[in-house]
């Protein structure tokens, strides 16, 4: 029997394991036009293969799930997959489809590739499609100390209501780019003027992959650091955030090892703490494990 995590380091490592728990041995590759674009649970693959005009199981041994090659254009693939997912939603077949948002995500083998189709965001976990987003670390310096702006999510959000979040963050919808999404989310969520949001600087990515119920969740967050002046005050914009708080970095560090934060925000903030030297390899025994767990192949 595993002992409960008691120290900050143990709690953080436990959370990292939860967000990177994908066992690909229980999944099949999902392929479109010969390219793997996702991972699908075997039970889900069996169900989808019954829609033989859209999906098919192929190959020897463990095999793979493929989209019908007769669907030749991105538009044809999009329509066919959408119809299947809407049908499954109407049947209440999978819990993830209850979070239907009418928001389309691109499906592609690599982020820089042209999309092979687009599909509903809530349905993406059924096919293990990587979902991409942008997270902005909003911070300032005061008397030699770093403070970070933290948002609290609205109680009406369908996922993680009331949890702590970044100054601005959001998924990259179909047809949108990273920079476009960053400027949009900064303006909509925190009323950040575009002239200030444009000062954000890229700081790499954080990636992870986990499975939950029937879904596979490979996700990649593009990370940006935005240093703001002391005079800056974020304001609630589109209602996805209910309030903002300015916390010293030590308080932020303590909080990310609890259940207060939205889990993927915890990873992005941990990355910030490592990059800024707020966590040191000589004093943190799990330092190398932290770094490894922040980057998972999608």
d(CA 101, CA 90): 14
pLDDT band at 222 (very low <50, low <70, confident <90, very high): very high
Q: Is 195 exposed, middle or buried (0-12, 13-18, 19+ CB in 10 A)?
A: exposed
Compute φ and ψ for 108, nearest 5 degrees. Answer: -155, 160
Nearest 5°: CA angle at 36, between 35 and 37?
Answer: 110
Both tokens of 16, joined, read: 């990292």
pLDDT, tens digit (0-9, with 9 covering 90-100), for 235-255: 998 888 899 999 999 999 999
- CB of 138 within 8 A of CB of 226? yes
pLDDT, tens digit (0-9, with 9 covering 90-100), for 147-202: 999 999 999 888 889 999 999 999 999 999 999 999 999 999 999 999 999 999 99
pLDDT, tens digit (0-9, with 9 covering 90-100), for 106-152: 999 999 999 999 999 999 999 999 999 999 999 999 998 999 999 99
State if pTM tops 0.85.
Answer: yes
- CB of 148 within 8 A of CB of 249? yes
| DSSP-assigned states of every residue in 3-38 | PPP-SHHHHHHHHHHHHT---GGGEEEEEETTEEEE
d(CA 133, CA 44): 25
Closest of 198, 105, 115, 188 to residue 154, by C-alpha: 188
283-298 average pLDDT score: 94
Looking only at Cα atoms, what is the longest distance across the chain? 64
pLDDT band at 30 (very low <50, low <70, confident <90, very high): very high
With tokens 């109680």, the residue in question is 155
- CB of 197 within 8 A of CB of 240? no
d(CA 188, CA 296): 30
pLDDT at position 194: 97
Continuous segment of H or E residues that includes residue 87: helix 74-90
Determine how many CB atoms are found less than 10 A away from the CB of residue 277.
8
Compute φ and ψ for 196, nearest 5 degrees. Answer: -80, -45
pLDDT, tens digit (0-9, with 9 covering 90-100), for 2-21: 446 689 999 999 999 999 88
Q: Which domains does the chain have, with CATH numbers?
A: 9-20+131-293 (3.90.79.10), 26-127 (3.30.750.160)
**Torsion, CA 227, CA 233, CA 237, CA 241, rounded to 10:** 80
Average pLDDT, the chain: 93
24-44 average pLDDT score: 92
**Is the pLDDT assigned to residue 216 strictly greater than 90?**
yes
Closest of 123, 115, 61 to residue 86, by C-alpha: 123
d(CA 286, CA 18): 16
**Is the pLDDT assigned to residue 61 strictly greater than 70?**
no
d(CA 78, CA 119): 6
Our measurement of the distance from residue 92's CA atom to the centroid of its chain's CA atoms, rounded to an integer in Å, reads: 24
Q: Strands 55-58 and 168-171: what pairing?
A: unpaired
pLDDT at position 1: 41
**Is the pLDDT assigned to residue 97 strictly greater than 90?**
yes
72-84 average pLDDT score: 96
pLDDT at position 62: 67
């Amino acid at each position: 029997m595993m002992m409960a995590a008691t120290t900050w380091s143990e709690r953080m490592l436990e959370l990292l394991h939860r967000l990177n728990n994908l066992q690909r041995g229980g999944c099949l590759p999902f392929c479109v036009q010969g390219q793997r674009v996702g991972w699908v649970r075997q039970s889900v693959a069996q169900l989808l293969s019954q829609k033989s005009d859209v999906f098919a199981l192929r190959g020897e041994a463990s095999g793979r799930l493929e989209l019908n090659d007769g669907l030749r254009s991105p538009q044809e693939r999009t329509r066919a997959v959408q119809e299947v997912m809407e049908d499954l939603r109407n049947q209440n077949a999978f819990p993830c489809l209850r979070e239907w948002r009418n928001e389309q995500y691109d499906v592609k083998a690599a982020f820089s590739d042209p999309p092979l189709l687009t599909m509903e965001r809530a349905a993406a976990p059924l096919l293990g499609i990587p979902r991409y987003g942008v997270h902005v670390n909003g911070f300032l310096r005061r008397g030699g100390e770093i403070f970070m702006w933290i948002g609290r999510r609205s109680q009406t959000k369908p996922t993680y209501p009331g949890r702590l979040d970044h100054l601005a963050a959001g998924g990259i919808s179909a047809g949108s780019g990273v920079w476009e999404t960053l400027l949009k989310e900064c303006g909509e969520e925190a009323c950040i003027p575009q002239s200030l949001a444009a000062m954000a600087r890229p700081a790499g990515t954080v990636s992870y992959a986990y499975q939950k119920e029937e879904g596979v969740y490979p996700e990649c967050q593009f990370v940006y650091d935005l240093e703001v002046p002391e005079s800056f005050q974020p304001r609630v914009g589109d209602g996805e955030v209910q309030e903002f708080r300015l916390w010293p970095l030590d308080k932020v560090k303590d909080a990310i090892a609890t259940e207060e934060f939205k889990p993927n925000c915890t990873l992005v903030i941990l990355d910030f703490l490592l990059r800024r030297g707020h966590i040191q390899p000589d004093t943190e025994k799990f330092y190398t494990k932290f770094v490894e767990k922040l980057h998972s192949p999608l």
